[in-house]
Structure 1
Amino acid sequence: MIRSILFSTTTALLLSACSQVAPRGTGDLGVVVERASGSVQIIESTHQTALARVEGLGDLSHASMVFSPDQRYAYVFGRDGGLSRIDLLERRLDRRIIQGGNSIGGAISQDGKLIAVSNYVPGGVKVFDAATLQQVADIPATPLADGSKRSRVVGLVDAPGRRFVFSLFDTGEIWSADFSQGHTPRIERYKDIGQQPYDALVTPDGRYYMAGLFGEDGMAQLDLWHPERGVRRVLGHYGRGEEKLPVYKMPHLEGWALAADQAFVPAVGHHQVLVMDPRTWQQTATIAVAGQPVFVTARPDGRQLWVNFAYPDNDRVQVIDTETHALVADLRPGPAVLHMEFTARGDQLWLSARDGDQVQVWDPYSLKRLGSLPASAPSGIFFSSRAQRMGY
């Protein structure tokens, strides 16, 4: 009898082990947004394959995401106000809530314990426990003059010291929310920073927060080491003032590049990439490109920039040498290239061709395409290595 029980128990354990997914790490995992179907694909870069599709994520027309510090969970911010947590190892939707009416992005705190979401409707930022998605704080934005609604919030990033920094599009402000003492944040407000800040970035060391201005020339910069100095104007002489070209798609400042001791930023309404000295934040050069740039993405070794464009040039990707500013390649990957993402060590460049229903993998050194994966109207591509980077 004892032998029979031991045999049955051992057999059951072996069968159970065989039925489970083999253990693996998460360092090579990524997520591709399928914007038209409210789904995402979990991908892996080692063998360039798709592992699973996770559905039921709502409106992903402007979706972005962040990752937990252990790189197991992806937090997806949907345009419909949905906040979803995806388990990358179990390849499933772990939790989902509707926290607002129109969300435009989010961030994860430095310690990975808080998730902040920026909202157009209702205007403001809501903050959640990363493990449970229970709300812990609500930060309403400034009401508009007519009292009908609150300002839309954009450019939300994480900053050192368990802080979140964001911009108010309609009222021209930058706010910093400090959660270092608990769930009741200390708010610092900076007014009159410029008209219509549309997006923002934080430098890799977390020192400078920079908001691009759509309503006037220039950018607004807050030194987070010395916030008492207030916000100063950067590139105040440059913008849309000279020739107001139609803007078909707003550039994403999260896709800026810091490489070869230079900062590269997409220009608004111009067929140019701006070059700045990151020590003085003064413009040093201008690089002419094929169209209005959306993302300016640096290869991890800093030698090249990969630039994609708004309509009608969104079938092109141009590669630029950061040392000489010369055009290295003018590629035509396919219709509607929306996003580009390097693997952590730069051996691969993944890009989404929305209207071609595919994700492509390129060798950024030989400039040859390595392969492609089918996807339903893909847009954003996010690798889990973002978990180890500030502002991502």
Structure 2
Amino acid sequence: MARVACFILCALPVTQAFPDAAQPAAKLYRSYCAECHGADRFGLMGPALLPENLSRLSRNAAAAMIRDGRPTAQMPPFGDVLEPEEIGQLTDYLYTAIPMPQWGEKEIRASRTVHHAPGTLPDEPQFSTDPMNLFIVVEGGDHHVTILDGDKLEPIHRFPSRFALHGGPKFTPDGRYVFFASRDGWISKFDLWNLKLVAEVRAGINTRNAAVSGDGKYLAVANYLPHTLVILDADLNPVKVHIVRDKDGRHTSRVSAVYDAFPRSSFVAALKDVKEVWELSYDPQAPEIPTGMTHDFRYREGAFIPGFLNPRRTDLNDYLDDFFFTQDYDQIMGTSQGGKGQVVHLDGRRSVATLDLPGMPHLGSGITWTWQGRRIMATPNLKEGVVSVIDMQNWKTIKQIGTPGPGFFMRSHENSRYAWVDSMMSREHKDTLTVIDKETLEVAARLTPVPGKTLTHIEFTRDGKYALASLWEDDGAIIVFDASTLKEVKRIPAKKPVGKYNVWNKITRSEGTSH
């Protein structure tokens, strides 16, 4: 049984963990849903399936999703193996309430484990390669992480990770520490200079992603379950646990994404079930406290720290499931699952524009560059084979660039003329990468090195010379391309490499990668 199920179920009576376990719907759930969504419905690789988390989905829509699947979430259709009556029973089961476990500051603090105390490991890299040109390769096939030398393009270390890492690893500004968030709520701190796991804590039960502050002192953890936004210090001690509610206090919400806005010294979070954006400052020296936000300065271990007491709220016209910062971090571009796009001014605390984006863009993987003297943004689409290119001055669509199918990740580099996008959400063309000329906005090439196999998630070396793609299969590989000639250079075996993340590109917030 997966870690999350064991961890929670041991603390719950059997009648709470498996209500009506003998009924047909419960058996159907165990047969078809538990592997991805957890035996307890609290979520694993897939989200929690509880009435509290399904508030935006009608029962009819849920039944249709079970029948037809959801390609954007890698969920297969079950209409061929389940009868309509069984789908109805299963749908009713998902909307049946079960007791919620508690996971607050007490539980978080009790889960914390320290493997190497601060100051006990050397303060310099224990290897000869460039520590800023390392790649962190997350391998979902057997839940491991490989550390890859970006100069020699060879692995230097591999270690087991928590189950189903998600949201991308996040780094401290010096590149020494990397933090991983798993779907079942574990936050792991790894010392890249010493290649050692130093500490872990469980910040939630079903977690979306985590962010590290620009000064490296804090983490914010976005949870689907419970409905909390958790603030940790860099040693993984809990600082503040926010129960996420609307401004009237009547409705709670999952947190769909949280990112660091380092020039603002704040975390910005999108809420899945409330039409608001939250901003929490971590700057104790802020000369003025913005309207709607306060600080509580508490003395701990010789230093004042912000208490993160009250978020600064911005009311929205629609939900935000994901978003992307402008280069100055004053505005965010966001989308909902319905495919509606909006631009939100964080200081003005309002939506200032709508975005003409078909389908459901994956803005968290959008990139920007300068084109004909102005800044533009491009984003792939989870539902349609198109890349949308948008002028960031007037928010008008410049061009829709066709791709073989819906894509998830788009990447480039300051030193590269090309932007790369996958078509991994397409059943027919999941094996193809589209390379776009950033000057002409035309397709320069389409690459299919392994026909029929999923190819996704490009990341560049520090200097932009090579582009690395994930052959997303259990017997997969990191495929290295020359970023100028577009020719394949080598393959590095890997077990379903979900993604790979270059230290330098991440900590310098390269315009060619997600922030």
* TM > 0.5 fold call: yes
Structure with greater proportional helix content: 2
Change (3 A) 1:303 1:39: same
Measure, in 2, the Cα distance between the counterparts of 1:369 and 1:251.
29
1:177 CA displacement:
1.0
Match of 2:312 in 1: 188
Deviation at 1:161, TM superposition (A): 2.8
Q: What residue is the counterpart of 1:308 in the other structure?
A: 422
Residue of structure 1 equivalent to 2:322: 199
Measure, in 2, the Cα distance between the counterparts of 1:289 and 1:46. 31
Check conservation: 2:313, 2:349, Cα contact below 8 A.
no
Q: Is the 8 A contact 1:54 1:91 kept in 2?
A: no
TM-score in terms of structure 2 length: 0.65
Mapped contact 2:455–2:469 kept (Cα < 8 A): yes
Q: State the match for 2:252 in structure 1.
A: 150
2:148 equivalent in structure 1: 43
Aligned to 1:329: 445
- Residues 144 and 308 (structure 1), Cα distance of their counterparts in 2 relative to 1, 3 Å cut: farther
- The equivalent of 1:221 in structure 2 is 343
Distance 1:156 1:277 in 2: 25
- 1:252–1:65 CA distance, 2 compared to 1 (3 A): farther
Aligned-partner SS, 1:294: coil
* Contact 1:157–1:202, Cα closer than 8 Å, also in 2: no
Instruction: Write the distance in 2 (CA, Å) between the matches of 1:33 and 1:366.
Output: 27
Question: What residue identity is the alignment partner of 2:409?
Answer: F
Match of 1:253 in 2: 363
Conserved in 2, the CA contact under 8 Å of 1:264 and 1:274? Answer: yes
Does 2:370 correspond to 1:212? no
- Change in Cα spacing, 1:72 to 1:210, as seen in structure 2 (3 Å) is same
What is the root-mean-square deviation in Å for CA atoms of aligned residues?
2.3
Contact 1:275–1:283 under 8 Å retained in 2: yes
2:249 & 2:321 partners in 1: Cα distance? 21
The farther-off stretch of 202-211 and 63-72 is: 202-211
Question: What secondary structure sits across from 2:190 in the alignment?
Answer: strand
Residue 245 of structure 1 corresponds to which residue in structure 2? none
| 1:174 is the counterpart of 2:277 | yes
The CA distance in 2 between the partners of 1:51 and 1:216, in whole Å, is 41
* 1:202 to partner: Cα distance: 1.2
Change (3 A) 1:216 1:264: closer
**Fraction of identical pairs, as percent:** 27
Which structure ranks higher in relative contact order (CA pairs < 8 Å, sequence separation ≥ 6)? 1
Report deviation, 1:28.
1.1
The amino acid that maps onto 1:75 is: F
How is 1:11-50 mapped onto 2 (pairs within 5 angstroms)?
Answer: 21-50=126-155
Kept after mapping to 1: 8 A contact 2:412/2:459: no
SS in 1 for 2:348: helix
Gaps of 5+ in 2: 1-124, 285-304
- Secondary structure in structure 1 of the residue aligned to 2:152: coil
Compute the displacement of 1:279 (Å): 1.3
Give the equivalent residue in structure 2 for 1:124.
228
List per-residue Cα deviations over 1:98-147 (Å, max 9, x = no partner). 110111111111111111111111123111111x1111121222269997
1:302 positional shift? 5.4
Corresponding residue number in structure 2 for 1:246: none
Q: How does 1:1-392 map to 2 (within 5 A)?
A: 21-60=126-165, 62-130=166-234, 132-142=235-245, 150-159=252-261, 160-181=263-284, 182-185=305-308, 186-195=310-319, 197-217=320-340, 219-224=341-346, 227-235=347-355, 237-240=356-359, 252-259=362-369, 260=371, 261-301=375-415, 303-309=417-423, 310-312=425-427, 313-334=429-450, 335-355=453-473, 356-385=475-504, 386-389=506-509, 392=515
Q: Deviations over 1:173-224 (max 9, x none)?
A: 21111121333224111223314x221111233222121122253x222223
SS for the counterpart of 2:264 is coil
Listed as ranges, the gaps of 5+ residues in structure 1 are 1-19, 241-249
Contact 2:381 2:406 in 1 (8 A): yes
Moved more, 105-114 or 205-214: 205-214
Counterparts of 2:278 and 2:247, CA distance in 1 = 16
Superposed displacement of residue 54, structure 1: 1.5
Q: Distance between the aligned counterparts of 1:51 and 1:251, measured in 2?
A: 36
Question: Is residue 54–residue 92 contact of structure 1 (8 Å, CA) maintained in 2?
Answer: no
Please give the per-residue CA displacement for 1:35-61, whole angstroms capped at 9, x wherever unaligned.
13221001111000001111142332x
User: Could you say if the C-alpha distance between residues 317 and 23 of structure 1 is closer, same or farther in structure 2, counting changes exceeding 3 Å?
Assistant: closer
Q: Specify whether residues 39 and 63 from structure 1 end up closer, same or farther in structure 2 by C-alpha distance, changes over 3 A only.
A: farther
Q: What amino acid is the match of 2:358? A: G
* Cα offset, 1:150, TM superposition: 3.2
Closer, same or farther: CA 336–274 of 1 in aligned 2, 3 Å: same
Distance in 1, matches of 2:501 and 2:225, equals 25
Is 1:42–1:52's contact at 8 Å kept on the other side of the alignment? yes
CA distance in 2, matches of 1:177, 1:300: 30
More deviation, 335-344/161-170: 335-344
Q: Which residue of 2 aligns with 1:5?
A: none
Q: Is the 8 A contact 1:300 1:344 kept in 2?
A: no
Kindly state the Cα deviation for residue 288 of structure 1 after the two structures are TM-superposed: 1.2
Kindly tell me the number of residue pairs found equivalent between the two proteins: 356
With the length of structure 1 as denominator, give the TM-score of the two structures: 0.84
SS in structure 1 of the partner of residue 421 of structure 2: strand
Q: Which residue identity lines up with residue 233 of structure 2 in the other structure? A: D
Structure 1 residues 285 and 51, CA, compared in 2 at 3 Å: closer, same or farther?
same
